[in-house]
Amino acid sequence: MLEAFLASTIAMATPILLAALGELIVERSGVLNIGIEGAMLVGAFFGLTAAYFSGSIAMGLLAACAAAVALNAILALLVVNFAVNQVVAGTAIDILALGLTGVFYRRFFGLTGSAFTITPMRMIAIGPLARIPLIGPALFDQSALVYLAIALVPIIAFVISQTRYGLELRAAGERPEAADALGLGVYRIRWQALLIAGVLSGLAGAFLTMSYTNTFIEGISAGRGYVALSVVIVGRWNAWGVAAASLLFGAAMALQFALQAAGTAIPYQFFLALPYVMTIAALAFMGGQADAPSALGEPYLRS
């Protein structure tokens, strides 16, 4: 029971963590990426579609990243070059993604009625570690994307705090005018950040359709991108904090299944709403903007 709950927690936390790590980089560069939900959604759909038609998981992952990167490129053009309102542009991206995935889903799979499923990514057990009671299955018998997400936490923490790239990123997010005056190229930094985030949200989406499940339903991301946005805030714009917050939200989502399985009298809608209520509660109690990058969300035009 507990073992299954832990494994489920990790599975639920992984797509949120992948997306949130990308969002962390983007926000550190000064951009608030509301389009993250849309990027996950196209990653989920086009990843599965490519895997379905090519029969190759690798092709699927590649397509997931490509689709999400393409979507983020549109967003980058809008919010970086055109300096349009980031909330409005991001919301438009989300709506667009909902439409694109819906239309192509019906086109490819709606009419035939043939099952839109693939053989999901296989679980990679790490030798005897996978047999450790309680935490073994959760941490050491997972798909490659889970290991990738876990490995990225220290890497991104290091890159942001210790490298020149991280310094440039933070400069763009804190004082874009100063960064530009130093010749750092705020536009380039923010473009790079959004493209990296595209790759990560694409993988987050791919996890949903190619690892956690093996099929697509419309709107499968179900607000996980928005949860990832909250995770970055609750995690205080820090990779370790983001990892901890992702686990917390993963646990809340896993709890929903555990409690439902336990067969309580509480209506199931309560459990479905729980992660969203928890997000609001977490933001209310731990969500101050004090640690946010100073220029976060503010359009910046080079002058």
Partner 1 sequence: MTTARKVSSRFAAVFAPLTGARIMAAIRPLAAIAIAALIISIVLIALGASPLAVFADLWQGAFGNWLAATDTLVKTTPLIFTGLAIAIAFQGALWNIGADGQLIVGAMAAGAIGPALGGWPHPIAILTMLALGAIGGALWGGLAGWLRARREVNEVICTIMLNFVAAQMLSWAVHGPLMERSRSFPQSTMIAPNAQLAFYFQPSRLNCGMIVAVLLAVACNLMLFHSAVGFELRALGRNRRASAFFGLPIRRLTVGVMALSGALAGIGGAVQVSAITHRLFETMSPGWGYEAIAVALVARLNPLAIVPAALLFGALDNGSQAMQRAHGVSPELVYIIQGMVIIVLVAFDAVASSGLRDAFFGAGDNVTAAPDVMAEAGDA
The answer to whether the CB of 121 falls within 8 A of the CB of 141 is no
The answer to whether the CB of 41 falls within 8 A of the CB of 219 is yes
Pairing of strands 141-142, 124-125: antiparallel
Among 151, 182, 270, 291, binds partner 1 (CB under 8 A): 270
> Can you tell me the distance from the alpha carbon of 104 to that of 99, in angstroms, rounded to the nearest whole number?
8
Q: Which lies closer to partner 1 via its Cβ, residue 191 or residue 212?
A: 191
CB of 64 to partner 1, least distance (A): 20
Site string for partner 1, 207-236 (x = CB under 8 A): -----------x---xx--x--xx--x---
For the chain, how long is the longest CA-to-CA vector? 62
Q: Which lies closer to partner 1 via its Cβ, residue 2 or residue 88?
A: 88
Binding region for partner 1 (CB under 8 A) out of 18-26, 126-134, 147-155, 268-276: 268-276
| Helix/strand/coil percentages in the chain, nearest 5 | 75, 0, 25
For residue 117, the SS3 value is strand
The radius of gyration computed from the CA coordinates of the chain, to the nearest angstrom, equals: 19
CB of 237 to partner 1, least distance (A): 13
Measuring CA to CA, which residue among 42, 162, 32, 182 is closest to residue 101? 42
Q: Which lies closer to partner 1 via its Cβ, residue 63 or residue 97?
A: 97
Among 2, 58, 87, 182, binds partner 1 (CB under 8 A): 87
Binding region for partner 1 (CB under 8 A) out of 116-124, 127-135, 252-260, 269-277: 269-277
Among 110, 124, 151, 261, binds partner 1 (CB under 8 A): 110
Measuring CA to CA, which residue among 219, 267, 227 is closest to residue 247? 227
The footprint of partner 1 on residues 273-302 (CB under 8 A) is 273, 276-277, 279-280, 283-285, 287-289, 292, 297-299, 301-302
> Can you tell me the distance from the alpha carbon of 145 to that of 159, in angstroms, rounded to the nearest whole number?
20
Among 126, 155, 217, 272, binds partner 1 (CB under 8 A): 272
CB of 107 to partner 1, least distance (A): 6
Q: Could you say which DSSP state residue 110 is in?
A: I
Q: Which lies closer to partner 1 via its Cβ, residue 35 or residue 137?
A: 35
The answer to whether the CB of 130 falls within 8 A of the CB of 136 is yes
Q: Is residue 265 packed enough to be buried (19+ CB in 10 Å), middle (13-18) or exposed (0-12)?
A: exposed
- Contacting residues toward partner 1, per CB under 8 A: 32, 34, 74, 77-78, 81-89, 91-103, 105-107, 110-111, 187, 218, 222-223, 226, 229-230, 233, 267, 269-270, 272-273, 276-277, 279-280, 283-285, 287-289, 292, 297-299, 301-303
